[in-house]
Chain A
């Protein structure tokens, strides 16, 4: 049972465009929703994270939108750059054990 569903699997965006990646979860006990960026051969790096008590969080060009009633959250990358080309993973965890459940990932390609 996949607890965090991520889409799309791959995404191609032109430089300067907006990249949008969506995730949906099933477990209502999740209370922490991070996004990670991973380059080939490297470990994931935390980009931005949100908790259910806010609907949006912005850090630079990265924004998380969170819809608690729909059990969905999304990552928006504004003014996408070729250097943003990477695999992005959404994840979720609970405060009880901190174990992260990952989505399957989205391969983002930003064309120059």
Chain B
């Protein structure tokens, strides 16, 4: 149980285009989902907290107009990188709160974004 999937697993796009990444909780409902980015050989950096049916809360320094997050249902959150540039190339990972009040988060497999 507690499986989180992401789609796509990797994507290459041209500079200036937008890319959407999906995060799904497959066997549980996730009231809260989190989006992280991770650069090579670095730790995970929280970008935003996504709550179902409400606006996402972004961490300081994260451009909300560039990284659009939509949490339309209890099993799906999406991250859209708008007008992507090479510096947006990174590993994007989502996680979902298990909803048990235990603080446990389950992570997706990640999406590798390369902007050319």
Contacts and interface: CB of A to CB of B under 8 A. Distances in A.
A99 B60 CA distance: 14
Interface core residue of B42, B107, B112 (most chain A CB under 10 Å): B107
Interface of A: 31-32, 34, 36, 41-46, 49, 89, 93, 95, 97-100, 102-105, 107
Majority secondary structure of chain B interface residues (helix, strand, loop or mixed):
strand
A43 B108 contact: yes
Interface of B: 4, 6, 32, 34, 41-44, 46, 49, 91, 93, 95, 97, 102-110, 112
Given A34-B104, A42-B110, A43-B6, 12 more contacts: A34-B105, A41-B112, A43-B4, A43-B108, A44-B44, A44-B107, A98-B97, A98-B103, A99-B46, A100-B34, A100-B105, A102-B43
A97 B49 CA distance: 9
Contacts of B106: 46
Interface of A is mostly: loop
Contact of A42 (B32, B44, B46, B109): B109
A112 to B, nearest CB: 23
B110 A98 contact: no
B109 A98 contact: no
